[in-house]
A and B are shown apart, each in its own frame.
Chain A
């Protein structure tokens, strides 16, 4: 997943400082505020919460105490006492149960740019939660320690939906983000929290791989404010071999989001030699414009060696810049370069007049000129959530 822990972000930024990509002042600016907030958040909550025993919302009962999960396209058929592929949903005597409802293992306060969302109240903060588990297994996952773990192997907090909202408000966050691992696997928790948050006036965003069935996605859209989809690559083979998922259901999810009218952005992590073929990126960009429209922001982000893919180098910046150019040429209005602090590809430029609207360095928003959702220079409407 694209979201990483504060520690990982810190480590990454340290590496960038060493590489000369980020100066010391920028590093401190991007990390320190969130670090202080996050430390306060975690100290306030008790650790070691027991796992939940809440009946799952999306499944079917089968004969012989089997169940079939209908949450994601895997459609796991699960025997009694066994778990689905995600590792956090268990068949208990024929009742499919989520073990992670209200028991996140990661809680941080992050800038919204870290997700990354670039058209969603730039400079605001997100109270970010994740439970253990994922319904994919990407070879480069930067949060594999929790995404690929079972919840009994992580330290968990007790944080029911109401408490998420109160903590978000207490820490001054405009957003609640379901992130780091894969929110699809804790969809019941997302659903209930987003529903309460909507009433409480707190925005919610789900950072997801989009590997979810249509029905649950539509139900979640009723209450979520925004969605960010980690799009792995425009290739079925890449999805299957490198991510242990499938492409077509994700494309379907993107169309679902479009039809629901919810705000969403895309990220495409570009991995050297595996999904960095420019013809593929061109095909992806054209598909996006054709099926989702030109206003969906797309970030081409930098891969760093991680988890099972430690044998590959970080993505060359030139590759990302080229991908961004291809995206823009294909008609995407807002194509970005991600994970390269200081690159001009992090900035938002008006699609109509080309003027600089939002200047970013890493997670730090230096300038935001968008006024009431419009370009102050030409008056063009800038897609996104700005207030």
Chain B
């Protein structure tokens, strides 16, 4: 057992012991002595290589998924490898993985599972994709025991087809609300955003792979790579303002705990929910057979927004910016534009500046 893995397990189990105290008052503030600093538990986190600003790969293969939502893992593996290699402009995708992750890392694999328990598995991150990502991480030397698949709650994960696994020799799979995990006791503030962060972001992991899904969203317009981190805050409801202007989502992504830990983003667009989201609506979900791969979350979301609008237009529906919610509030996902503005500078939001590389198998 490597030192780092032993440390990881020790951290998780030490949280088990302190979980009750931690949850006593929600994310109650506790003394520094009770909660060791991140530096004490995790290697110092340095920023990953600069994101490939504005570079997005969209790969599609109609054979990757069938009408019963069964995924062909062989096809998906080819898609993933080809997309990642293309993103890095290399032949071997492992080179790109090595750029963003090292064998010493403790890697969080952030999946998106919210509508799973309500029968929404087709618009959750498919577990077949998660398995392939984990395989690539282990290929470059990351210890399986140093990997954890996570989202907001165990119920969400189970509903999306994941099996809850405690830390051990295999990748763990746990929700933030699991008593063994929980949230930071301190509040993290970034402009208008203020949240306790999942300990996956503050203590347990040194890097994240983000596997969001791309969907229409009834309040903020689009949910994708930027919004996926709401699965790692204690108060996601506060990020859904009734006026539709979700600037807080952009502000949240400024936090170093998110910005500096995020490496590759592999967005599951095997199905594309273009209307009626975020819960699953079979009649307005296209079997799309795609992956969006990038390191720039803003550019990825801007492309996803465009895909959703294209599907809406093709189906006789208004563009997002012309389709307010049931209370008449706008749903244009302008938080994506905010994330790309000069002040936030989280990525490229201008479509004409985004280099979209489309691959169709």
Please measure, in the bound complex, the distance between the C-alpha atom of A75 and the C-alpha atom of B240, giving whole angstroms: 12
Query: CB within 8 A of A81: which of B20, B23, B24, B120?
Result: B120
Please measure, in the bound complex, the distance between the C-alpha atom of A64 and the C-alpha atom of B23, giving whole angstroms: 36
Which residues on the A side are within 8 Å of B117 (C-beta)? 81
For B219, B240, B277, the residue with the greatest tally of chain A CB atoms inside 10 Å of its CB is B240
> Contact mask A64-87 → B, CB, 8 Å, 1/0?
111010000011110111111111
Which residues on the A side are within 8 Å of B170 (C-beta)? none
Query: CB within 8 A of A150: which of B187, B237, B329?
Result: B237
A230 touches B (CB below 8 Å): no
Please measure, in the bound complex, the distance between the C-alpha atom of A139 and the C-alpha atom of B242, giving whole angstroms: 18
> Contact mask B26-39 → A, CB, 8 Å, 1/0?
11110000000000
Please measure, in the bound complex, the distance between the C-alpha atom of A79 and the C-alpha atom of B115, giving whole angstroms: 10
B67 touches A (CB below 8 Å): no
Which residues on the A side are within 8 Å of B194 (C-beta)? 137, 139, 307-308
Please measure, in the bound complex, the distance between the C-alpha atom of A74 and the C-alpha atom of B114, giving whole angstroms: 23
CB <8 Å contact, B234 and A77 = no
Q: How large is the interface on A (under 10, 10 to 19, 20 to 34, 35 or more residues)?
A: 35 or more
Q: With A153-B23, A154-B23 in contact, do A79 and B279 touch (Cβ < 8 Å)?
A: yes
> Total interface residues on B, using CB and 8 Å?
39
A152 touches B (CB below 8 Å): yes
- Determine, out of A140-148, A187-195, A359-367, the stretch whose residues face the partner at the interface: A140-148
Q: How far is the CB of A211 from chain B (nearest CB, A)?
A: 12
CB <8 Å contact, A308 and B187 = yes
Q: With A82-B278, A137-B238 in contact, do A145 and B26 touch (Cβ < 8 Å)?
A: yes
List B300-330 residues whose CB lies under 8 Å from chain A: 325-327, 329
Please measure, in the bound complex, the distance between the C-alpha atom of A66 and the C-alpha atom of B120, giving whole angstroms: 15
Query: CB within 8 A of B326: which of A62, A87, A144?
Result: A62
Please measure, in the bound complex, the distance between the C-alpha atom of A363 and the C-alpha atom of B236, giving whole angstroms: 36
Residue of B with least CB distance to A74: B242
Which residues on the A side are within 8 Å of B73 (C-beta)? none
Q: How far is the CB of B251 from chain A (nearest CB, A)?
A: 12
> Contact mask A135-166 → B, CB, 8 Å, 1/0?
00101000011101110111100000000000
> Contact mask A323-345 → B, CB, 8 Å, 1/0?
00000000000000000000000
Q: With A81-B117, A145-B26, A145-B28 in contact, do A150 and B235 touch (Cβ < 8 Å)?
A: yes
26 CB < 8 A contacts A-B: A62-B326, A64-B276, A66-B218, A74-B242, A77-B325, A79-B277, A81-B278, A82-B218, A82-B240, A82-B278, A84-B237, A85-B241, A86-B237, A87-B235, A145-B28, A145-B29, A146-B25, A146-B26, A148-B26, A148-B234, A149-B235, A153-B183, A154-B25, A155-B20, A307-B187, A308-B194
Closest 9 CB pairs of A and B: A149-B26, A87-B237, A80-B279, A79-B218, A145-B28, A81-B118, A145-B26, A145-B25, A77-B326
